[in-house]
Structure 1
Amino acid sequence: MALKSLLILGAVGVAHGQSEQLQFCGSAPYYASEYTCYDNNTLCPRLYGQPTLPCSGSCYSPDMYQCRDDGQLQLLPVHGASGSAFRLEAHSSNPALNKRLAEVCNLQFNVGADAETCVYCYDAPPRFVCSSYQNETVLLPSGAMSVDVPGSQYWFVDPTTGRLRTTAAGKGGAGGEGREHAGEGVTIYEEGYFSYDGWSYWLACKEPGGRGLYRIFAPTGNSDQNDCERIKLVAVPSTEPKEGAYSYT
């Protein structure tokens, strides 16, 4: 996707409070919550709470692009299916979402202060020892979840609703309904950018009832969700071999 699209689609307005002072980049006024000034002559917008970088008159996200020596933008390499396990971190201009980790519960990915990881474990030493799992939401680039349950579990975007979710465990050893869509349409870039079908953002839709829980959707256009805002998802390496779970529920 072209950089222009990245900036337009990813632009999220930030409401600056009365206490924020207007600053200047050269002669151009700006708010530091919305832009970053480089060399006192170049303004680049902050997208999803994170700064973008200048490149020959354009601005880009270093999670997805690199600025070549000739001043041209180039997409970063992508992770292969054999890459390392990772967790998903949300980036947002909303402090309630920014830098929070995605959690799986009811086989669906959520984010926010009230998001939690729901797990089940079958304790069968020495092969399966429940106390050895850290029970965090951990994914693999192949489309699988980091689990030990026979048949495994898989993450995918529901083609009907756009919901980011996982398959159920224990479905005849086949990984559950949705296995055929495991990892489908998602690209993971070298620096962690987690992109669906070339889009720069995902949707965090607030759970009704005022709780600090947001459901995660891909921008598929076939969702009827309300009260949603755009977020960026970034793959953060998982460093512990047992950071995942026996199974997710």
Structure 2
Amino acid sequence: MKSTVYPLTILAGLLASTKANPLPVPVDTSLKECGNQWYSPSSYTCRVGADSNALCPVVNGEAMEDCNGACYTPYRYNCSGTTLVENPRKTSGTFTLTASNPDQPFDGEPIQAAGMHFWVGGHAATYCPSNVGSICTSFPNDTTLIGNGYMSIYWQKDGSMAFTQAHSSQQYNLSYYGGGITYEGGGYFGPNGEDLITCPVTPEGSNTTAWKLFARLSGVGFPSSCVGLYVVVHDQNITAGAWQYT
């Protein structure tokens, strides 16, 4: 499922706004007024501007912006005057990723590589052979660095974001090969621009729950325990985060 830009005309219909003047007071006192309709602040925000009073949804804990009748996330788009345009895509350099969902305790946590998959928070699983000497200590080792062909990323059939073992091109349950769509100073999305989601799982050999990263691939369903999030791109000026990730 690709990330959606929400036309305000459709949102207005979905919200079943009332045309009464003045607006009747709702039974639910937590609702707020936006023009000629009531809305829940936990689900929508009222954008006041050229589009009058426009409701934009709250997605992944963050209110979407309004651009001349379309709601959008700045992680993917920007508003140029009254025109919605895609942010420039990142085509070079290395970067790290962090999770963003202000409603969740993992907000701001790094995206880490471990067990051939990617996780929200925790630590990177790395390896450096003893015979290479002190070079092992020159790496951050707990920083998952992406870009410049540094890591071979692919997406499994269940939507999992995965990577291949170093010096190997073998993928398991392959759906798409290659990393996600990356925006300069913006967000990181699935292989076709899909939104990302994280699900609580218990890794093999572990007794604790961890948040595994997935893309909302077409035809793939997720349990209600999963949580949507934005993944934020941070440019880095280092060329290697570890000897290899495992």
TM-score normalised according to structure 1 size: 0.71
Structure 1 segments of 4+ aligned residues over 6 angstroms from their partners: none
1:76 maps to: 87
1:203/1:210 CA distance change after superposition, 3 Å: farther
1:3 maps to: 5
Of the candidates 105, 110, 120, which is equivalent to residue 101 of structure 1?
Answer: 110
2:6 partner SS: helix
Asked if the contact 1:143–1:183 (Cα under 8 Å) also holds between the matched residues in 2, the reply is no
Asked if the contact 1:143–1:155 (Cα under 8 Å) also holds between the matched residues in 2, the reply is no
- CA separation in 1, counterparts of 2:221 and 2:58? 28
1:157 maps to: 155
Asked if the contact 1:76–1:190 (Cα under 8 Å) also holds between the matched residues in 2, the reply is yes
Q: Whose radius of gyration is greater, 1 or 2?
A: 2
1:200/1:98 CA distance change after superposition, 3 Å: farther
Q: What is the RMSD computed on CA atoms of the aligned residues?
A: 3.3
Cα offset, 1:26, TM superposition: 4.6
Cα offset, 1:242, TM superposition: 6.3
Cα offset, 1:212, TM superposition: 4.5
Identity of aligned residues (%): 25
- CA separation in 1, counterparts of 2:219 and 2:65? 33
Cα offset, 1:33, TM superposition: 3.6
TM-score normalised according to structure 2 size: 0.72
1:58 maps to: 70
Question: Which amino acid counterpart does residue 232 of structure 2 have in structure 1?
Answer: V
1:237 maps to: 235
Question: Which amino acid counterpart does residue 235 of structure 1 have in structure 2?
Answer: V
Q: Which runs of 5+ in 1 are unaligned?
A: 9-19, 146-153
Spell out, residue by residue over 1:9-64, the C-alpha distance to the aligned partner (whole angstroms, 9 max, x if none).
xxxxxxxxxxx954444564444443333338333222212232111122111121
1:178 partner SS: coil
1:118 maps to: 125
Q: Which runs of 5+ in 2 are unaligned?
A: 11-28
Task: Name whichever structure is richer in strand by fraction.
Answer: 2
Spell out, residue by residue over 1:203-232, the C-alpha distance to the aligned partner (whole angstroms, 9 max, x if none).
211114994411112222465754323222
Question: Which amino acid counterpart does residue 145 of structure 2 have in structure 1?
Answer: V
1:16 maps to: none
- CA separation in 1, counterparts of 2:77 and 2:71? 10
Cα offset, 1:106, TM superposition: 0.8
